[in-house]
Each structure stands twice: as C-alpha cells, then as structure tokens.
Amino acid sequence: MTPMIPDLKARLRELKMHWLADNLDDFVARATRDRSGPMEFVELLAQAEFDERRRRGTERRMNAARIGKFKPLADFDWAWPTFIERERVERLMSLDFLTEPANVVLAAPPGLGKSMIAKNLAHQAVLAGHTVAFTSAAQLILDLGQQETPRALQSRLRRYAAPRLIVIDEVGYHTYDTRSADLLFEVVNRRYENGSVVLTTNLAFSDWPTLFPGAACVTALIERVTHHAEILSIEGKSWRHKEAGERQAKNRQKKK
C-alpha cells in the first residue's frame, strides 16, 4: 500500500463514499494488474460507487415501503380466475400510471390475488426508483386515529401524502365510523392528482356506504379514487380454497 492510500480512504469517507473506501485496495490492485489508464480507473471507481449507492437506495426504499412477503407475478396462475384481464395487469407493471398520476383499483372477492398484484406493483415501483408505502386500510385508519394532537395528525397525513405511490390494501373487510371515513378521505384527497394510489377492495363501490355508515364523505371519496383510475375486476373462486383442497387430497393419498 502506498502512503497516499490511507489519506485517500479518509477523504473518501469524509465524502460519505464508505463502500469505495473499504474496497479501494481491490480497485488499485485490479487497475495495476490490468494496467488501466487514469481515465479508465476513474470510470471504474465512479461506476462502482454509483452502483453501490443505487443498491443502498433501493434497499432503503424497500424497507420503508413495508411490502412484506409476496409471490412474484411470474407465479400467478392466470388460468384459475374465471375472469381476469391479464394484458391490463401486465401493462400496469410498466408503471405508466405513475406519470399521470392515476390510481389503480383491484376489485375481487378474497383469495383471487388482488393483494399479490398490488404488492408486485409496489415492488416494481421501488425497483424503478420511486418512493412507496404499503398499508392495509385498517392499519392506516388505526395509525391516523391514534395521533393525539392536531399537529401530530397533520404530520402523519403528510407522511402518507409524500410517497410517489401508496398501496391501501383490503378496503371492505371492516366497517368504520364517520371519523375513520374522514381520515381515509383526507389521505386520498391530499394525493388526488398529486400521487398515485393502488387500492384493493372486495366490495363494489355501490356497497362502500355500508363500510362507513352515515359518513358524508363516501361519495366524494369514491369520486377521488375512481377519477383518473384503472379499475380491474377479478372473478372466480378463492385460490386459498383451491390450495386447501389440494392439501387435503394429498393427505388422503398419504393415508391410503
């Protein structure tokens, strides 16, 4: 190691180029072995630091998104639903709806893959460099409802308004009071024409008033969600029931 190397590593760390500082010896050895010229050596260093920063950025966005475990779209059984528009689903993976910005509504009974598709959209958006938040409707409303002061509530609402994409999963599995309806509307309203929402629901919009009995904002909420929106319906029987039946059949075969 030449006397200049420790000083260079220190300067790299001051510039927050920690990964490059930790791997500088390998780069110097490689450049010496390959007899790289000065420009080529600088290009290698710059590309390596760029790739590492992009990797760390993707990792940070993935952790912040909180998508959780999911199956890749490649594993989706397109033949199982009795109705699904595969071309539209696959086209959504290009993320063109984020540029408008537009919303995406995935409507289906339980167990047909709407959450899986939503998580794949969220994952694809993270990989493309976008900020993403994934939450269930119940988690979102509970989180906002627990804010004890108006200032804390406004801060949390800004957090939900900030990402390029927010996924609100499982709208329709619980009923809520009017304040909960107002909180959900506030999130959607703040993002209206500013950021995309992917929303999954097991209910038709005509049934949404039953989720928020007496809430005055339901019509406005539906209008904000559906204006500039891709609405995809999936029909069929639950995939979970299919898997449960297959497991039972295997167990019966083992007992014979």
- pLDDT truncated to tens, each residue of the chain (256 aa)? 455 667 888 888 888 888 888 888 887 888 888 888 888 878 888 888 888 888 889 999 999 999 999 999 999 999 999 999 999 999 999 999 999 999 999 999 999 999 999 999 999 999 999 999 999 999 999 999 999 999 999 999 999 999 999 999 999 999 999 999 999 999 999 999 999 999 999 999 999 999 999 899 999 999 999 999 999 999 999 876 666 656 665 666 666 6
What is the Cα gyration radius of the chain?
A: 24
The sign of the CA dihedral 194, 200, 206, 209 is: negative
**pLDDT attached to residue 1:** 45
67 three-class SS:
coil
**Residue 200: enclosing H or E segment and its boundaries?**
strand 196-201
- Cα 244–chain centre separation: 28
Q: Pick from 25, 23, 45, 22: which is nearest to 33 by CA?
A: 25
- Domains of the chain from N-terminus onward: 4-64 (no CATH), 73-241 (3.40.50.300)
214 three-class SS:
coil
DSSP 170: E
